[in-house]
Structure 1
Amino acid sequence: MKPDLRTALQQKPLVGDGAMGTYLYELGFPVGVSYEEFNLLKPGIIGDVHRRYVDAGAVVIETNTFSAQHGKLSKYGLEKKTEEINAAGVAIAREAAGDKAYVVGAMGAIRAGGRKNARTAGMKRDFEEQIGALLAAKPDGLLLETFFDLEELSLALSLIRARSDLPVICQFAVEDAARTHDGVPLGEAFRRLKAEGADVIGFNCRSGPNAILRAMETIPADLGAPLSVFPNAGIADLVDGKVVYKATPEYFAQSAIRFADLGSRLIGGCCGTTPEHIAAIAQALNGYVPAAERPVRPETSPSRIAVSETPASGGFTDVGEPSLVELVSRRHTVIVELDPPRDLDIARFMQGAKALKDAGADAVTMADNSLAVTRMSNMALGALVKERIGIRPLAHIACRDRNLIGTQSHMMGFDALGIDHVLAVTGDPAKFGDLPGSSSVYDLTSFEIIRMIKQLNEGVAFSGKPLKQKAKFIVGAAFNPNVKHLDKAVQRLERKVASGADYIMTQPVYDPALIERIAESTRHLGVPIFLGIMPLASGRNAEYLHNEVPGIQLSDEVRARMNGLEGPAGRAEGVAIAQELLDAAMPHFNGIYLITPFLFYDMTAALTEYVVRKGAAVSLRG
């Protein structure tokens, strides 16, 4: 007879299950329906998913009841079946688990990071109804998951503790590695939940293994409660209209050991994970021996990368300045990406822009809420760097956030500010960002937005009505060459050029052989290409990019060189690798697109200086 769940969690790391919703989606079931209703309509399907996870090695499985609350079920007219759906969820999981696994009743947040208008009384009613239904079905414990706010999680926990002493697992979904969505430091939040009766506290969803590892490192080692982790399989990507996740089972196996070393005693997976991911975790933890002591949080403060020369730099003015397309036809031209801040402090951003200008960068480019994470407006920052720093701004324009009205208004604003270089991108879906309750608009595709912006250059509004003057936009398009079939990616790129793209900016590339293939495959396009190079900041950063971020693929050699490096040593090696990539790129491409990691602008300033020096030397030899 197996021990109770609370005792088992104290003995060794337990393997949890993986995703339910995204796995059903992967199996071909459509979005826009209540997967919780499948407990009644398709119990065999839900039971089969549970059994696949148990067979893979999961010893803790969650009921298919994450959104089985009155308010959420009411969207499908199912609110009167709340009790029935929850009871069926426990029964199905119990049958699939047999004597091999524990069953925990899953409950999701009501606010979910976005519904601040949800009243406490209404949340209390919905939580109490679901808690009662789950407890009546007799699970081995309850799991409160994907909570953004400590306030809401504490409410749900208190309601459970008022009725039951079953083990309770509490899990946050965090965007910031230091605090909850309602601003409470994670260490303090965990201590409060422990005091309020949580048996296990941890993280799930929103983030892949890398971000959750960083969050775990902020948790006090003397918390006195086991930790749990259920990360996503990296960042979701939209490929041919289908949501996919990148992180492999092998990567999850490696991460599982690091999670266990940091005190996690329940390790599973969330969105994008499959039975294969869980099998990899189970194999990795088989015979696990705890680390002698808890790893220390790596140093993350910026450090200057030494450079031997400081090239002369010229200021940017509106009048008579050649466009980037004209510049790149004459010499090596450098665009550097600098992330807009996620808060209201722009001091470091402006320091970075100044350093890049002094290093010789031709433009500073700013993303448009990349990865659907809210950042300061690149229109405002573009105007500031143009006015205060004297460097050309290049703004990304995402299709995600604005409808046709907002997009034309946005472009008219850029024109009024004299910001005439833009990059048209699709934009990551809003539900994967820091405000998952927000909507993705997508009135336009990336092809259409290019055509519409170029239409403004003809003096014609999106509506077809004439404007009083013509815009002067230079429009770029994005290109991801890190794909299995480069020829198909180039065909898509040809469509963007046909739509009117004046230049191309690529995702970062880390393989010299691929750089040559890109040059050969795109030679016929007739527009300049700015090859993307992003210096790696650490070994952990390298593994995160390779395993979790869509559109980025590192070579085995690069990963081996970065392995284990952190802090200044990691950044120095990252710059060295980037210089070697520049050596491979510059004979083929006059356009260089440097991407600054974590606002470590000294890294891209050093690389900008390297391009300027190397380009000048080539010109002298010529």
Structure 2
Amino acid sequence: MKLELREALRQQIIVGDGAMGTYLYQMGFPVGISYEELNLLKPDVIVDVHRRYYEAGARLIETNTFSANREKLSKYGLEEDIEAINRAGVELARKAVGRDAYVVGAIGSIRAGRRKNFRTAKIKDDLRQQIEILLDTQVDGLLLESFYDLEELLLALKIIRKLSSLPVICQFATEGTGTTQDGVTLQDAFAKLEQNGADVVGFNCRSGPNGLLRSLERVAAIGGELPYSIFPNAGIPDYVDGRFTYAATPQYFAETALKFADLGARIIGGCCGTTPEHIAAMSRALAGYSPGPARADRSQPTSAGAAVLPEREPVQPAAEVLAQPAPSAKPDGANEPNIVDLVKQRHTVIVELDPPRDLDIDKFMKGARALKEAHVDALTMADNSLAVTRMSNLALGYLVKEQTGLRPLIHIACRDRNLIGTQSHMMGLHTLGIDHVLAVTGDPARFGDLPGSSSVYDLTSFEMIRMIKQLNEGVAFSGKPLKKRASFIVGAAFNPNVKYLDKAVQRLERKIEAGADYIMTQPVYDAALVEKIYEATKHLSIPIFIGIMPLASGGNAEYLHNEVPGIQLSDEVRQRMGSLKGEEGRAMGVQISKELLDTAMRYFNGIYLMTPFLSYEMTADLTRYVWEKSGRAISTCTH
């Protein structure tokens, strides 16, 4: 006989199901429809998806009712069908699975991370309507998932507790920051939920396994009485040829499921991008797993913690033999040619340093000065990469230029600005004397830290390149004269970590036709691939900067390989990083990068180094290595 859900969680780990919406998308159902309406229009499809997850080993099945509330359904003119859609969602889940499965009614956030002016009274009414319908069906519990702030989640939980004693699972959408979107620490948020009658607390969506492991470590270290539930995404989505794809493999999910279990997770499933294959792999990995008796014994950080490099004071680089005078503190652009002309003459190093996610720029500026002492040729700054909000790279670029003399190279994403904002931004860069830029598409906003924000995409990266070069002709985006000509040097991004390199090169050729002056690649971790890139691109007329990013730890290596689009590590590199962390991990990461540089420098003059976790001493070390290998010995002395 099936145990009541609360009792079952005391004795075992329950495997949850995987994604519904993104799985339907993979099956051919387009974005822009109500997937919940398929409960009425395509019931056999929904039953089939539930059955696949059940057969994969899932024993906690979510109804296809995540967005079946008045606010969401009204966008499709379905507000009169709320009850029918919710009741059908429960019936279809029950029909698809055996009697040993727990069917829980899925209820999603109405705000969904958006800053839209939602009245609290309306949110309460909409939540209550859906909750009352689901409680009038044969569900084993309710799952409140993808809530961004504590306030709304408490609203839903309190409504349920006034109406029912059924088990309630409460999950925040988080990306590993340690707080909810309304600024409450995760520990305090979980304590508040426990006080108000939650039975299970946890996380889903927004992050892959790595990010949710970090969040779970934070709360597990504090302890608590409630079991945890975890439903990670299959990594960060990539947008390729008009479709979203996810990189995290079933095997990776199997490995991380055990880490979640060690930290006290009692329900483990998957969110966006996961499939029955991911669930089957986790089910096999967790078969026979025996939950420990006390959370206190499981609160020590797992190896996932190695993916996060704690900030520390930079070490001072050792002085080297002075072979030539160090540049003055004037902008490099005043002393040397632009990057394109420079890389035709000698090896040239661009280093990327991420703008901070907070208001403290001290470490960033220390890093910029250290890289100046290492004599990098340009410091490049991303434009809210991975759709995560960071300090303006325009402001930091100006400070870098004025205070260190380094040449700033600014990324410009199509995602965040419309045509008006983009031209205004470019005009501002021109006025500040910042003339090196990189045009990129930008990751979709819905997958970043403010998922309620809009992705603009007025321009593609091809159009962005053309429009910036149009400013160099003294012509505005509107076609009007600008009285002066800009002088932008425009770069384009290139991802060589793909199955069909020839197709990626064809796309690159189109960017060159649009006016790109140089190319910067995603990080490469295979010397053989460096050679393939050279052979595939040697006919191109513009220089290529090969991307190399030193790894910080074994956990960092696994995260990049499994969750970040556009990055693939060789098996050899992953084995060498293994479980290394701390100084050992960084040392091995730098050593691997030096070996890659040995190959890269034979084929390319352009080197693009990416700094992990603001650990600028690593990329400063690699920059000095480039100068040693190229015979351009320099010193850290600036007197």
TM value normalised by structure 2: 0.94
Cα distance in 2 for partners of 1:389, 1:68 equals 55
Q: Say if 1:304 and 1:603, in contact at 8 Å, map to a contact too.
A: no
Counterpart of 2:83 in structure 1 is 83
Cα distance in 2 for partners of 1:375, 1:249 equals 32
User: In structure 1, which of residues 541, 547, 553 is the aligned counterpart of residue 562 of structure 2?
Assistant: 547
How is 1:199-238 mapped onto 2 (pairs within 5 angstroms)? 199-221=199-221, 222-238=223-239
Counterpart of 1:429 in structure 2 is 444
Q: Which runs of 5+ in 2 are unaligned?
A: 635-639
User: In structure 1, which of residues 471, 478, 493 is the aligned counterpart of residue 493 of structure 2?
Assistant: 478
Counterpart of 2:637 in structure 1 is none
Deviation at 1:321, TM superposition (A): 3.2
How is 1:599-610 mapped onto 2 (pairs within 5 angstroms)? 599-610=614-625
Deviation at 1:613, TM superposition (A): 2.1
Counterpart of 1:295 in structure 2 is 300
For residues 23-45 of structure 1, give each alpha carbon's deviation from its aligned partner in whole angstroms, at most 9, with x where no partner exists: 00100011111111111111111
How is 1:149-298 mapped onto 2 (pairs within 5 angstroms)? 149-221=149-221, 222-290=223-291, 293-296=298-301, 298=305
Counterpart of 1:467 in structure 2 is 482
User: In structure 1, which of residues 372, 392, 410 is the aligned counterpart of residue 425 of structure 2?
Assistant: 410
Q: Say if 2:520 and 2:546, in contact at 8 Å, map to a contact too.
A: yes
For residues 286-310 of structure 1, give each alpha carbon's deviation from its aligned partner in whole angstroms, at most 9, with x where no partner exists: 1124577443264723365685544
Cα distance in 1 for partners of 2:214, 2:91 equals 37
Deviation at 1:253, TM superposition (A): 0.7
Cα distance in 2 for partners of 1:202, 1:328 equals 50
User: In structure 2, which of residues 504, 507, 515 is the aligned counterpart of residue 489 of structure 1?
Assistant: 504
Deviation at 1:549, TM superposition (A): 0.5
Cα distance in 2 for partners of 1:210, 1:80 equals 41
For residues 470-525 of structure 1, give each alpha carbon's deviation from its aligned partner in whole angstroms, at most 9, with x where no partner exists: 11000000000000111111111111111111110000000000011111111110
SS of 2:164's partner is coil
Q: Which moved more, 1:467-476 or 1:308-317?
A: 308-317
Cα distance in 2 for partners of 1:497, 1:345 equals 38
Cα distance in 2 for partners of 1:564, 1:203 equals 25
Cα distance in 2 for partners of 1:352, 1:189 equals 35
Cα distance in 2 for partners of 1:116, 1:589 equals 49
Q: Say if 1:246 and 1:548, in contact at 8 Å, map to a contact too.
A: yes
Q: Say if 1:261 and 1:295, in contact at 8 Å, map to a contact too.
A: no
Q: Does 1:122 align with 2:122?
A: yes
Q: Say if 2:176 and 2:207, in contact at 8 Å, map to a contact too.
A: no
User: In structure 1, which of residues 609, 614, 620 is the aligned counterpart of residue 629 of structure 2?
Assistant: 614
Q: Say if 1:146 and 1:205, in contact at 8 Å, map to a contact too.
A: yes
Q: Say if 1:309 and 1:609, in contact at 8 Å, map to a contact too.
A: no
Counterpart of 2:536 in structure 1 is 521
Counterpart of 1:324 in structure 2 is 339
Q: Which moved more, 1:109-118 or 1:503-512?
A: 109-118
SS of 2:95's partner is helix
Q: Say if 2:531 and 2:603, in contact at 8 Å, map to a contact too.
A: yes
For residues 107-147 of structure 1, give each alpha carbon's deviation from its aligned partner in whole angstroms, at most 9, with x where no partner exists: 01111111352121111111111110000013000000001
Q: Say if 2:175 and 2:212, in contact at 8 Å, map to a contact too.
A: no
Q: Which moved more, 1:573-582 or 1:172-181?
A: 172-181
Gap change, CA 1:305 and 1:520, over 3 Å in 2: farther
Cα distance in 2 for partners of 1:468, 1:304 equals 46
Counterpart of 1:450 in structure 2 is 465
Counterpart of 2:577 in structure 1 is 562
How is 1:335-346 mapped onto 2 (pairs within 5 angstroms)? 335-346=350-361
SS of 1:8's partner is helix
The residue identity in structure 2 corresponding to 1:288 is Y
Cα distance in 2 for partners of 1:454, 1:415 equals 12
User: In structure 2, which of residues 593, 600, 607 is the aligned counterpart of residue 592 of structure 1?
Assistant: 607
Q: Does 1:56 align with 2:56?
A: yes
The residue identity in structure 1 corresponding to 2:499 is K
Q: Say if 1:200 and 1:228, in contact at 8 Å, map to a contact too.
A: yes
Deviation at 1:376, TM superposition (A): 1.2
Cα distance in 2 for partners of 1:526, 1:589 equals 13
Q: Say if 1:148 and 1:181, in contact at 8 Å, map to a contact too.
A: yes
Cα distance in 2 for partners of 1:212, 1:293 equals 16
Gap change, CA 1:177 and 1:31, over 3 Å in 2: same
For residues 582-601 of structure 1, give each alpha carbon's deviation from its aligned partner in whole angstroms, at most 9, with x where no partner exists: 11111111111110111111
SS of 1:228's partner is strand
Cα distance in 2 for partners of 1:579, 1:311 equals 20
SS of 2:166's partner is coil
Cα distance in 2 for partners of 1:122, 1:110 equals 10
Deviation at 1:570, TM superposition (A): 1.2
RMSD (CA atoms)? 1.6
Q: Say if 2:257 and 2:282, in contact at 8 Å, map to a contact too.
A: yes
The residue identity in structure 2 corresponding to 1:302 is R
Counterpart of 1:34 in structure 2 is 34
Q: Which moved more, 1:296-305 or 1:64-73?
A: 296-305
- % of aligned pairs identical? 68
Deviation at 1:436, TM superposition (A): 1.4
Deviation at 1:364, TM superposition (A): 0.8
Deviation at 1:176, TM superposition (A): 3.7
SS of 2:219's partner is coil
TM value normalised by structure 1: 0.97
How is 1:112-151 mapped onto 2 (pairs within 5 angstroms)? 112-151=112-151
Deviation at 1:616, TM superposition (A): 2.1
Q: What is the number of residues matched between the two proteins?
A: 619
Gap change, CA 1:555 and 1:307, over 3 Å in 2: farther
Q: Say if 1:403 and 1:441, in contact at 8 Å, map to a contact too.
A: yes
Cα distance in 1 for partners of 2:319, 2:204 equals 47
The residue identity in structure 2 corresponding to 1:276 is E
Cα distance in 2 for partners of 1:92, 1:342 equals 44
Deviation at 1:322, TM superposition (A): 1.0
SS of 1:170's partner is strand
Deviation at 1:569, TM superposition (A): 1.7
Cα distance in 2 for partners of 1:449, 1:371 equals 19
Counterpart of 1:20 in structure 2 is 20
Counterpart of 2:363 in structure 1 is 348
Q: Which runs of 5+ in 1 are unaligned?
A: none
Cα distance in 1 for partners of 2:454, 2:321 equals 46
SS of 1:104's partner is strand
